[in-house]
Amino acid sequence: MKDKLKIMNKSGGFTLIEVLIYSLIVTVFLTFTLVLTYGMIVSSERIVARKELVENQKLILQKVVWALQNVSTINTPAFLATSSTLSIDKLNYYFNPIIFSLSASTLNLKNGATTTAISNSYVSVSQLIFTHATSGAIRFRATLFNQYATETIDTLISFK
């Protein structure tokens, strides 16, 4: 009878050591899964922020190139001078002057009485510099950044 009782007790459940080992395995698996998930979320945020930065860079450059097409007068900066604003008049354009300026880390475009932000709230702009390098070109420099990346625009744009 005693032998029957011993056999029944041994086959009935888990020992404390087995429970601890299984708990450790499950904990390691869950920790690994959570770390991977967090890494994917952060990576996704970085990709979106980088894409936003590149898209803002393209838009800003396109707007400056557009403004310098058919230009009749460059008001600011003067010839061979540097300025943080660009003010120009276009031929046959009703909303002259066109002014690019920096306000609170946002690049603004003003044509006539309307001011529009070119860069969005996900990107900050700093070190905006326009140089009237030659009689037919403007050098445009700006640094765009967000919490994950930094891009610099440095280009010479011809307008004649």
Per-residue pLDDT tens for 129-158? 999 988 888 999 999 999 888 889 999 998
Give the CA count within 13 Å in the CB-facing half-sphere of 126. 5
**Angstrom distance (rounded) from CA 109 to CA 67:** 10
Among the listed residues 97, 104, 109, 100, the one whose alpha carbon sits nearest the alpha carbon of residue 140: 100
Residue 12 lies in a domain: no
Residue 70 lies in a domain: yes
Residue 1 lies in a domain: no
Contact criterion met (CB below 8 Å) for 138 and 83: no
| pTM for the whole structure | 0.74
% of the chain residues with pLDDT over 70:
92
Number of domains in the chain: 1
Residue 126 lies in a domain: yes
Looking at per-residue pLDDT, the higher value among 31 and 4 belongs to 31
Residue 154 lies in a domain: yes
- What's phi and psi for 108, nearest 5 deg? -115, 145
Q: Mean per-residue pLDDT for 7-13?
A: 60
The amino acid occupying position 5 is L
Domain carrying residue 77: 38-158
Residue 31 lies in a domain: no
| pLDDT computed for residue 10 by the predictor | 57
Residue 30 clears pLDDT 90, i.e. is over it = yes
Residue 67 lies in a domain: yes
Pairing label, strands 106-111, 114-117: antiparallel
**Angstrom distance (rounded) from CA 76 to CA 83:** 7
Contact criterion met (CB below 8 Å) for 144 and 114: no
- Classify the C-alpha dihedral 97-98-101-104 as positive or negative: positive
